[in-house]
Amino acid sequence: MRRALQVVPALWSVLAALVVSVILLALAGAPPFRALGLVLDGAVGDGGRMADTLMSWVPLTLAAAGLVVTFVAGLWNIGVEGQVIAGAIGATWAARTIPGEGFVVIPAALAAGVAAGALWALAAGVLKTRGGVNEIFGGLGLGFVAQSLATYLIIGPWKRAGIASTSGTEPFREEVWLPTVGGTRLSPVAVILALAAIAVVWALLRGTRFGLRLKAVGANPASARLLGVPTEATILRAFALGGGMAGLAGAVLATGIQHKLVPAIAGGRGFLAILVVLLAAYRIVWVAPIALFFAILSVGSAQLQLRLDLDSSIGGVLQGILVLFVILIGGWQALHRRDAEEP
């Protein structure tokens, strides 16, 4: 898997993904190159759109940075989607209950998001280390629980005065919104948080004992234990850290983008972050650019719906096919290398 992002398969895959999407667009009766142009224009065409793309990049990058930590430890943290939701729930709770000025409540809401996401991930971690429940299924299960919890809160205890609808809670007080600049939706705080997350994970994996332990556990948990690495503690810390970053992503979504809790608050961003990390072959330096590329596709695809009456899912198709081709072509080349080596 680490080989997945060698340059050649990556180039082939980009090309193949492009060809497939052109065919798909043609099938749907749309002029393919105009459509791709619209995607770009929709994502980076003017300042406001760039701001939207960046604000879509932030949660994706936060969740992906956290996933690098868990993936390096050999953990398939599919529960990340639920951790994003949990973070949004935590932030919403803080934004609703803590009184006072924004500079008090906003940090509290972000911290509550981190705590909730970390807690949700720790649950998957404890289920794995103590309960013998594979983290894929434990995490997935907890994800659905988080989703139901959010829906329940929205139409139950946190419902808008008078009406119980799934359109979301009452918007937060404006002081609690992440401050924005230049009349756009861009929040510098959010961007700084995402960059900080990248830096933290980079430094962690690069030069700390914990980073080494993560890699040891990821490479071979049994021998790591024999060599004296506290396996369980390392796994739980990886979950807490990864979940905390996913929770922060959820908190940014709630306080910086939606300004309330909605049922689809995560909207598949956690799952998309897994694709980002797979494409990055678990390397943190690649996370930011790939997440940006994905954010451009996601935000830009909305234009296709508006301008060409195409389904906006084309962005998801492109992202999916790209990652699929990178993985499959990488595997194919490795196979041929092996065949060539074996006499």
Partner 1 sequence: MEATIASIVAAAAPLVFAAVGETITEKAGVVNLSLDGSIALSAMAAFAVAFLTGSVVLGFAVGALLSALVAVLVAFSGIRLRLNQVAVGFVLTLFLAALAQFLGNPFVRQPGPSVRPMAVPVLSDLPFVGKILFDQNVSVYASLVLIVVVAWVFRRTRIGLELASVGERPEAAHARGISVSRYRFGAAAVGGALVGIAGAAFSLDVKLGWSDTQVMGFGWIALAIVIFGGWRPIWVALGCYLFGALQVLALKLQPVFPGVAQILPSLPFPLMIFTLVVVNSDRLQRLGERFPFLGRLLVSDAPAALGTNFEI
Minimal distance, residue 228 CB to partner 1, in Å: 26
In whole angstroms, the minimum distance from the beta carbon of 21 to partner 1 comes to: 10
Per CB under 8 A, 24 contacts partner 1: yes
Among 129, 151, 180, 184, binds partner 1 (CB under 8 A): 151
3-state secondary structure of 246: helix
**Cα→Cα distances 199→24, 61, 62, 169, 193, Å:** 38, 12, 11, 34, 10
* Six-digit token string for 128: 């794995």
Contact between 119 and partner 1 per CB under 8 A: no
Let me know how long the chain is.
343
Helix axes 269-279, 47-72, angle to 10 degrees: 70
What are the CA-CA distances from residue 114 to residues 66, 90, 96, 320 (Å)? 11, 8, 16, 28
Q: Which of 54, 112, 295, 310 binds partner 1 (CB under 8 A)?
A: 310
Tokens coding 22: 């052109």
Among residues 46 and 309, whose Cβ is nearest to partner 1? 309
Q: Which is nearer to partner 1, 255 or 298 (CB)?
A: 298
Neighbours of 67 (CB within 10 A): 29
- Residues in Cβ contact with 171 at an 8 Å cutoff, skipping those fewer than 6 apart: 259, 260
Task: Identify the residue among 179, 271, 283, 308 touching partner 1 (CB under 8 A).
Answer: 271
Q: Binding to partner 1 (CB under 8 A): which residues in 37-76?
A: 76
Number of residues lying near partner 1 (CB under 8 A): 52
Binding status of residue 136 toward partner 1 by CB under 8 A: yes
Quick check: 317 binds partner 1 (CB under 8 A)?
yes
- Shortest distance in whole angstroms from residue 193 CB to partner 1: 25
Find the Cα–Cα–Cα–Cα dihedral 97, 180, 263, 261, rounded to 10°.
10
CB 298, min distance to partner 1, A? 11
Tell me how far, at minimum, the Cβ of 218 lies from partner 1, in Å: 13
- CA 248, CA 276: separation in Å to the nearest integer? 18
In the three-class reduction of DSSP (H, G, I as helix; E, B as strand; rest coil), residue 336 is classed as helix
Write down the least CB distance from residue 178 to partner 1, Å: 28
The DSSP 8-state label assigned to residue 5 in this structure reads: G
Stretch that binds partner 1, among 238-246, 253-261, 284-292, 305-313 (CB under 8 A): 305-313
Q: Does 320 bind partner 1 (CB under 8 A)?
A: yes
Candidate segments 55-63, 199-207, 229-237, 319-327, binder of partner 1 by CB under 8 A: 319-327
Q: Is the CB of residue 151 less than 8 Å from the CB of residue 169?
A: no
- Is the distance from CB of 62 to CB of 249 less than 8 angstroms? yes
Determine, following the binding rule CB under 8 A, whether residue 246 of this chain makes contact with partner 1.
Answer: no
Contact region with partner 1 (CB under 8 A), list: 36-44, 91-99, 100-108, 330-338 = 330-338
Q: Which is nearer to partner 1, 142 or 288 (CB)?
A: 142
Contact segment (CB under 8 A) with partner 1 among 104-112, 128-136, 196-204, 231-239 equals 128-136
Distance CA 23, CA 32 (A): 8
97, 148, 208, 223: which one binds partner 1 (CB under 8 A): 148
Q: Would you give the distance in Å from CA 268 to the centre of its chain?
A: 8
C-alpha span between 149 and 188 (Å, rounded): 30
CB atoms within 10 A of CB 162: 5
Taking the least distance from each CB to partner 1, the nearer of 50 and 328 is 328
- Cα separation, 53 vs 102, in Å, equals 25
By CB under 8 A, name the binding residues for partner 1. Answer: 1, 24, 27-28, 76, 78, 127, 131-133, 136-138, 140-142, 144-145, 147-149, 151-152, 155-157, 164, 268, 271-272, 274-275, 278, 310-311, 313-317, 319-321, 323-324, 327-328, 330-332, 334-335
